Amino acid sequence: MAGRSVSFMVFVAFLVFAHLVLHVALGYGAGAPDLMAVAVLLAARRLTPPHAALLGLALGLLADALALTSFGATAVALVAVGWAGARTRDLFEGGSYGFTLAYLFLGKWLADAIYLLVSPVARAASVHAALVTALPFYALITAATGVFALAAYRLSVGARYAR
C-alpha cells in the first residue's frame, strides 16, 4: 500500500510538472488544461481536509507566482476545492472514470468560479457570462485531460481503480 501511495504522489508531482511545462515553458497559457487543479482534486481524494487544503495553498501560490494579476486568487480557489474534495470523499465513493470525470468537472468549475469571484480584475457582467459559457467548456477539457492522465497512471501501476 505504501508503494502505491508513493507512486500516486509521484503522479501528482508529474501533473504539476506537466502544468508548468504547458503553461510556462511552452506558453499555452489559458489554452492548456489546468493540471494543478486536477492534481489538487485527485490528491484530495486520498488526503485529509487540512492536508488537501495545504496542498491547494502550495500549488495555488506556485500558480499565482507565475501570474501577472490577481495574486492569491488561485490559492484561495485551490484551497477551497482541495478542502471540499477531501470532505466529499466520504459522501461520494467511486473510482469509475465517469465519476472521476464528473468530480473533476465540478471541481474545476468551482475553482474557476471562486477565482472569478475573488479576483479583483473580474467585472460583474463578465463573471455571470463566464460562469455559464466559457467555464463549463474549460472545466470539461480539464476533466477529460485529468481522466486520461488518471487512466494512464492506473495502466502504468496495474490498478483497475483506486480510492
Give which of 54, 39, 48 is closest to 8, Cα–Cα.
39
pTM to 2 decimal places: 0.90
Give me the residue label for grid cell 480539464.
142
Cell of 22: 504547458
What is the number of other CB atoms lying within 10 angstroms of the CB of residue 24? 11
H or E element that contains 163: none
Q: What is the pLDDT of residues 42-75, one digit of tens each?
A: 999 999 999 999 999 999 999 888 777 778 889 9
Name the band, by pLDDT with cuts 50, 70 and 90, for residue 1: very low
